């Protein structure tokens, strides 16, 4: 397994709060997603209140420190909702010898303010806050997708900048809010090269938002074209004094495929930092388009250019047309079936990273 390069991350920090011209911001976001697949969104609490983020982390702590019998009552099912315990998930099944050192709680969308899954005692009285937090995340995803639409200069006659956002806005979708807890491991127990908090993987959906806490590092990315790992600091330069660390946004496999790989879906993992003394808590929001969305060609000259490259690289017209005839639900299911057979009937129980 390649080790960290230690090179400082070049992933840019972008302010989308409205102080800069939108088109410039959209282009900068597209650039970052095309180069790194990751971008930091400067966070001064304008899109999501800082208190709401802090509060979700408090609830997350409450949940993970609750008795295991409570968590067992909402163990993850094939709906991809619920709790998974330590080392029950293996994100990099091919290379990992042991499961991920983490616990995770997946919370799906609410209907009329109500969770559509059993919630544990520690969360059940907080439905309104969780629902509101999901709404904030959803709105931020729509905002970023609109800026992508601007940056990609989507044909105004075909829907313009709102092209992606409208395909995420109304209707059932499998988006998931995921609370993550990575307990620390004492140095004497740590097996270098074997133990890992989250194995190498890329995310399946369109966009992922990731919230991190100061002093709890560990995320690394393998930027396109590189075979080394780059640490992604929680508070990159210029953000150290912001009221909350920037929100990381990364492009998932579905959006990469949809844009003919113009926007990249970058492999990432979570490691035990060298000086690991802290537990790590993070919160991810995995956004997916409305399930019935057809993944038709994106009406953008920039994407069309990329499609030509793909053709030159050998993708047949039939393959491309098959890709474009799929719905978002079909795409997700095909990925899950190929990678995580355990959930779909072969009796294995590991590797349930269906949101990742």
Ligand X SMILES: O=C(O)CCC(=O)C(=O)O
Interface with ligand X (CB under 6 A) = 178, 180, 198, 203, 210, 219, 268, 270, 282, 284, 356
> Is the Cβ–Cβ distance between 289 and 254 less than 8 Å?
yes
For residue 356, the minimal CB distance to ligand X (Å) is 4
Q: What is the DSSP string of 243-277?
A: SSPPEEEEE-HHHHHHTTTSS---EEEE---TT--
Nearer to ligand X by Cβ, of 29 and 179: the residue is 179
Torsion of CA 160, 161, 165, 166, to 10 degrees: -20
Residue whose entry in the numeric block shows the structure tokens 């995420």: 168
Nearer to ligand X by Cβ, of 35 and 282: the residue is 282
Binding partner at 219 among Fe ion, ligand X, none, C-beta below 5 to 8 Å by kind = ligand X
For residue 20, the minimal CB distance to ligand X (Å) is 27
For residue 49, the minimal CB distance to ligand X (Å) is 22
Nearer to ligand X by Cβ, of 203 and 260: the residue is 203
For residue 270, the minimal CB distance to ligand X (Å) is 5
Binding partner at 131 among ligand X, Fe ion, none, C-beta below 5 to 8 Å by kind = none
Nearer to Fe ion by Cβ, of 29 and 248: the residue is 248
Sign of CA dihedral 92, 98, 100, 106: positive
For residue 19, the minimal CB distance to ligand X (Å) is 28
Give the phi and the psi of residue 353 in degrees, each rounded to 5.
-80, 55
Supply 203's token pair: 């995310």
For residue 283, the minimal CB distance to ligand X (Å) is 8
Q: Which of 39, 27, 32, 55 is nearest to 246 (CA)?
A: 39
97 by Cβ neighbours in 10 Å (0-12 / 13-18 / 19+) ranks as exposed
**How many Cα atoms are found within 13 Å in the side-chain-facing hemisphere of 58?**
9
Binding partner at 220 among Fe ion, ligand X, none, C-beta below 5 to 8 Å by kind = none
Nearer to ligand X by Cβ, of 203 and 276: the residue is 203
CA pair distance 64, 52, nearest whole angstrom: 18
Binding partner at 288 among ligand X, Fe ion, none, C-beta below 5 to 8 Å by kind = none
Torsion of CA 237, 6, 41, 25, to 10 degrees: 90
SS3 186: coil
Give the phi and the psi of residue 106 in degrees, each rounded to 5.
-95, 125
Nearer to ligand X by Cβ, of 30 and 356: the residue is 356
Binding partner at 180 among Fe ion, ligand X, none, C-beta below 5 to 8 Å by kind = ligand X
* SS3 of the chain: helix, strand, coil, percent, to 5: 35, 20, 50
> Is the Cβ–Cβ distance between 302 and 155 less than 8 Å?
no
For residue 296, the minimal CB distance to ligand X (Å) is 27
Nearer to Fe ion by Cβ, of 76 and 356: the residue is 356
- CA dist 29 → 92, 146, 152, 250, 259 (Å): 28, 11, 10, 10, 14
Nearer to Fe ion by Cβ, of 208 and 293: the residue is 208
SS3 73: coil
For residue 268, the minimal CB distance to Fe ion (Å) is 6
Residues in the chain: 356
The binding site for Fe ion (CB under 5 A) comprises 203, 356
Nearer to ligand X by Cβ, of 160 and 233: the residue is 233
Binding partner at 210 among ligand X, Fe ion, none, C-beta below 5 to 8 Å by kind = ligand X
For residue 81, the minimal CB distance to ligand X (Å) is 15
């Amino acid at each position: 397994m390649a080790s960290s390069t230690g090179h400082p991350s070049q992933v840019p920090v972008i302010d989308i709060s409205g102080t800069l011209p939108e088109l410039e911001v959209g282009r900068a976001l597209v650039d970052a997603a095309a180069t790194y697949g990751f971008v930091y969104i400067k966070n001064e609490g304008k899109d999501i209140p800082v208190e709401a983020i802090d509060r979700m982390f408090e609830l997350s702590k409450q949940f993970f420190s609750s008795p295991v019998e409570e968590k067992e009552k909402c163990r993850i099912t094939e709906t991809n909702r619920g709790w998974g315990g330590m080392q029950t998930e293996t994100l990099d099944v091919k290379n990992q010898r042991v499961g991920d050192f983490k616990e995770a709680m997946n919370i799906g969308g609410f209907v009329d303010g109500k969770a559509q899954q059993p919630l544990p005692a520690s969360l059940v009285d907080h439905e309104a806050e969780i629902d509101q937090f999901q709404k904030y995340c959803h709105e931020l995803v729509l905002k970023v997708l609109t800026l992508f639409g601007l940056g990609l200069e989507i044909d105004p006659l075909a829907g313009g900048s709102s092209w992606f956002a409208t395909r995420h806005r109304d209707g059932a979708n499998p988006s998931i809010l995921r609370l993550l807890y990575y307990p620390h491991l004492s140095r004497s127990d740590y097996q270098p090269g074997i133990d890992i908090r989250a194995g190498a993987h890329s995310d399946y959906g369109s966009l992922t938002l990731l919230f991190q806490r100061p002093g709890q590092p560990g995320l690394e990315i393998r930027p396109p074209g590189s075979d080394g790992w780059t640490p992604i600091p929680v508070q990159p330069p210029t953000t150290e004094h912001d009221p909350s660390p920037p929100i990381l946004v990364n492009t998932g496999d579905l959006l990469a495929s949809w844009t003919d790989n113009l926007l990249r879906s970058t492999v990432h993992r979570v490691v035990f930092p060298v000086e690991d003394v802290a537990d790590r808590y993070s919160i991810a929001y995995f956004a997916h388009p409305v399930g019935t969305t057809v993944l038709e060609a994106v009406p953008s000259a920039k994407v069309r250019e990329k499609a030509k490259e793909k053709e030159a690289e050998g993708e047949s017209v039939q393959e491309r047309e098959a890709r474009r005839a799929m719905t978002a639900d079909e795409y997700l299911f095909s990925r899950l079936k190929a990678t995580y057979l355990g959930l779909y009937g072969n009796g294995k129980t590991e590797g349930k990273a269906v949101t990742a």
